[in-house]
Amino acid sequence: MEYSRGQVEEEVMGLIKNLAQDWDYSKPITSETLLFSELGFESLDAVVFGTAVQKHFEKQMPFAELLAELGKERRDLSISELVDFVRTQLS
Amino acid sequence: MAFIEVNGIKMHYITNGEGPDIVMVHGLLGNLAVWHFKIGPALRKAGYRITTLDMRGHGYSEIAPSGYTSEALAADLLALLDALDIESAHILGHSYGADVCMHLALLHPDRVKTLLALEPGLPALVEERKKDHWGGWTYWVGRLKEAGFEVPPEKRTDFRYLLKVSLETPKFYGPARGLPRKRGRLLELINNTSLVSDYEVVGSLTLGAVRKIETPTLLVYGENSYFLGSYEFLREALPNCTPVLLPGGEHFGPLEQPEMIIEHILDFVKC
C-alpha cells in the first residue's frame, strides 16, 4: 500500500496520541513537537512507539539504529522528522 | 502495546521475529528498552524470536506491593512462557534479571535451553556486597559525585538511599541521555513495595543449589566489574559453565559492548 506524507503523518500522530493518553503532557501535539525533551519520551516509550509503528505499517524499520544515532549525536527528534523516517522506510 | 496477565499482575512484553526463542530479562529498576538498541535487533536478524518483558513493577508492567524476590520474579517469567506457549527458550538476563533467570533454570530446567547470564550478583552472596569495603559502593558514590551529588559518609552503603539519589541524576544511556528521569513510578517501587528487601532474599537459590544447575550457561562479566566475587564463585560452582570476561567493562559493560555480547551469544546458542 502506498502512503502519502499526509497519511503517514496522520497515522503516526494517531499512534502517538494513543500512547500519550497516560502521559503528563497537556500542550497540543504538533508536527514540530519534540519526542524526548517535550513529550518526555524515555527509551522505553521510544521502543514501544517504534514497535507500534512497525506493527501498524506491517514493516520492520531500523528504529534501533535511528535511536542509537540520536543518542550518539545527542539530538532530539520532531514528529515531522519521524514521519519522514517512516515515509522513507515505506517507499 | 502487548500485556499479559501473570500471577495477578498485568505484564508488558514485546515479541518480535521468528525462530528459536530468546527471552530477555532486564535488571533492577530497568526496563525492556535496554535490549532493544543493539542486542535484540541483532539476535532477531540472526534468526531468533525475541521476547523482552518488563518485570513486575518495572517499565509498563503493573506495580504490586510484593513479589520481587528473584524466585517470585522467576515464577512470573515461567507464567509468561506458559502464556505465550513457549515450551523452552534461551534465557538472557542482566544483573538482577540474570539472578531471576538462574532461579528459573534451577526450578524448571526443562524450560531453559541455555542460560545467558550477564553480571548476576546472586542474592546468596549479598552479605559479601554489604561490607563497607565492597568496591561497588565506592564506584556508585563516585558516579553520583560525577553527576553532582555528594553522598554523606554515613549513607555510602545505604542501598535504598543510593537508589533514590540515582533517580535524580540525568539519564546516562540511550536517546534521552542527559534528560531528567521520570521518577514517579520508580520511587513508588522503592518506597511502597517490598522490592528493596526482596532483592536480598535467597529463596531456593542457595550457594549449594547453584551446583545443581546443569543448564549450559554462558557467564559474562566486565573485567572491572565490582561483581567479580560472584563471577569467581559461579564459574567454579556452575557445573556446565562457559565463563567470559569482557575487556575493560564494569557492571554495565556487557550492555555497553553489545557487539561482543552478540557474538558470544550467537556462538553459544548454536552449540
Q: What pLDDT digit, counting tens, does each position of A2-25 carry?
A: 788 899 999 999 888 877 766 666
Residue A61: alpha-carbon gap to chain centroid = 12
Q: Average pLDDT over chain B, rounded to whole?
A: 94
Q: What is the pLDDT of residue B145?
A: 94
Does an H or E element contain B148, and which? Answer: none
Q: What is the domain extent for residue A30?
A: 5-90
Q: Which residues of A touch B60 (CB under 8 A)?
A: 44, 48
pLDDT surpasses 90 at B179: no
Q: What is the pLDDT of residue A24?
A: 64
| Residue B182 near chain A (CB below 8 Å) | yes
Q: What is the pLDDT of residue A22?
A: 63
Count of residues in chain B: 271
pLDDT in tens, B124-145: 999 889 888 899 999 999 999 9
Q: Cα(A64)–Cα(A43) distance, rounded to whole angstroms? A: 10
Q: Cα(B199)–Cα(B121) distance, rounded to whole angstroms? A: 10
Q: How many domains does chain A have?
A: 1
CATH classification code of B2-130+198-270: 3.40.50.1820
Domain boundary assignment for chain B: 2-130+198-270
Q: Which residues of A touch B38 (CB under 8 A)?
A: 64, 68
pLDDT in tens, B207-263: 999 999 999 999 999 999 999 999 999 999 999 999 999 998 889 888 888 999 999
Closest CA to B29 of B265, B256, B252: B252
Angle between helices B159-168 and B135-146 (to 10 degrees): 20
pLDDT surpasses 70 at B37: yes
B24 SS3 class: strand
Predicted complex: ipTM over 0.85: yes
pLDDT over 70, % of chain A: 93
> What does the block give as the cell for B153?
559518609
What average pLDDT does this structure show over B55-65?
A: 96
> What does the block give as the cell for B198?
526482596
pLDDT in tens, B7-23: 999 999 999 999 999 99
Q: What is the pLDDT of residue B101?
A: 98
Kindly report the nearest CA distance between residue B162 and chain A, in angstroms. Answer: 21
Question: A22: Cβ–Cβ under 8 A, 6 or more apart, which residues?
Answer: none
Q: What is the pLDDT of residue A74?
A: 80
pLDDT in tens, A34-65: 998 888 888 899 999 999 999 999 999 999 89
Q: Cα(B261)–Cα(B93) distance, rounded to whole angstroms? A: 12
The strands making up B2-6's β-sheet, listed across from edge to edge, are: B2-6, B9-16, B49-53, B21-25, B89-94, B112-118, B217-222, B241-246
> What does the block give as the cell for A82?
519521524
Q: What is the pLDDT of residue A23?
A: 64
Query: From B170, which residue of chain A is nearest by alpha-carbon distance?
Result: A42
CATH label of the domain that carries residue A69: 1.10.1200.10
Q: Average pLDDT over chain A, rounded to whole?
A: 87
Q: Which residues of A touch B177 (CB under 8 A)?
A: 71, 74
pLDDT in tens, B84-130: 999 999 999 999 999 999 999 999 999 999 999 999 999 999 988 98
How many Cβ atoms are within 10 Å of B190's Cβ, its own excluded? 19
